[in-house]
Structure 1
Amino acid sequence: MTPVQAAKWMLAQFDAKRFLYQEEAATHLLHLHDRQLAYYDGSGNVCVGKKVLAAFNKLTPDAVYERTDKFWRDRLPSDQPGRQQ
Structure 2
Amino acid sequence: MTEEEAARWMLREYDEFGFIYQEAAAGHLFQLNDEKLAYFDRSSNLCVGKGVLAIFNRLTPTAVYERSGKFWRRRLETDQPGRQQ
TM-score normalised by the shorter chain: which range applies? over 0.9
Alignment of 1:1-85 (within 5 A): 1-85=1-85
- How many pairs are equivalent? 85
Query: Identity rate of aligned residues, in percent?
Result: 64
Q: Any unmatched runs of 5+ in structure 2?
A: none
5+ residue gaps, structure 1: none
Could you tell me how far apart the structure 2 residues matched to 1:45 and 1:19 are? 20
Q: Secondary structure at the match of 2:64?
A: strand
Output one character per residue of 1:50-83: Cα deviation in whole Å (capped at 9) or x when no partner: 0000000011111000011100000011111111
Normalized against structure 1, the TM-score is what?
A: 0.98
Structure 1 stretches of at least 4 aligned residues deviating more than 6 Å after TM superposition: none
CA-based RMSD of the aligned residues comes to 0.5
